[in-house]
Chains A and B, each alone.
Chain A
Amino acid sequence: MTLFRNVVFVAALAGLLAGLVLAALQSFATVPLIIEAEAFENAGGPLHDHGDAPSGAADGSLHEHGEDAWAPSDGFERFAFSGVVNVVTGIGFALLLVVASEMAGGMAGWRQGLMWGLAGFGVFTLAPGLGLPPELPAMPAADLLDRQTWWLATVIATATGLALIAFKGGLTWSLAGLALIAAPHLFGAPQPPTGDSLIPAGLHRQFMIAATLTSLIFWTVLGAVAGAARRRFVGAASGLSGSLA
């Protein structure tokens, strides 16, 4: 289980550091915008009625979930839970990134790790964000399951497409990879019903930029730390001889 242990160790270290960096960035770059949007949400009343919910539904709220469920209270508790979720999810993303890189021979150092991190950014943020831009609370959106399905399909298609281009070689595979990357966008993401949003366009634009940039920093830190940790603790001996098989 040496390989498993090494992968988990490298991923845990990278996820911890990148998650903490991201949590700190979010606390002043994205979370204030989310809280601002929630003020619109709470003040604006129902934007689209969820089918005249008979009773018990969250009246006056756009959230489809009930309001009685536990939620961290605003302030430190909310920040702390966000921090924990950031770190844990960071480790999850790091596991995927490190496994993918091991299949291709492993990251030889922090710079290769950085490249892998950029690929992760393209796969998990850029590609899904083209069709489903980062959203604020209270924004009209298409059916949740449709959006999640499209998100997942786009992530898989983009990752596979990039892998074909990077590791298969040859014009045919590269074209196939490009086609895979483009396919979800030609198909089209589930779009929100047309209608007025409670959220001012300027606030949303600011949030899209903040969310995308913080994610870019997260992924580059994640990749670079994973590459450096692998080189330092696991060794770069494997080189890049492996294939993507």
Chain B
Amino acid sequence: MTTASQSLAISGAARATQLAMAALLGVFIVGFLGFSPMEVVHNAGHDYRHSMAFPCH
């Protein structure tokens, strides 16, 4: 597939930036749902947080 060769062709800095953006998105999602002190978020994800052993109340 051509997409892979395109992604390899980009410069190291652009590559690092794009990976960093993807990582930040992941950190934001996991942090928000796993650690948010907002009660509504906590309650919606209550069973998930317990099941995945996030520190929770």
Contact = CB atoms under 8 A, between A and B. Distances in A.
Interface of A: 1-4, 6-8, 11, 22, 26, 30-31, 34, 62-66, 69-72, 78, 81-82, 84-86, 88-89, 91-96, 98-99, 102-103, 124-125, 128-129, 132-137, 141, 144, 147-148, 151, 210-211, 214-215, 233-238
A92 B33 contact: yes
A79 to B, nearest CB: 8
Contact of B45 (A4, A85, A136, A236): A85
Contacts of B21: 4
Interface of B: 1, 3-8, 10, 14-15, 18-19, 21-23, 25-30, 33-35, 39-40, 42-48, 50-57
A86 B55 CA distance: 16
Q: Give chain B's interface secondary structure class.
A: helix
B17 to A, nearest CB: 9
Contacts of B44: 71-72, 81, 84-85
Contacts of B22: 4, 7-8, 11, 95, 98-99
A8 B25 contact: yes
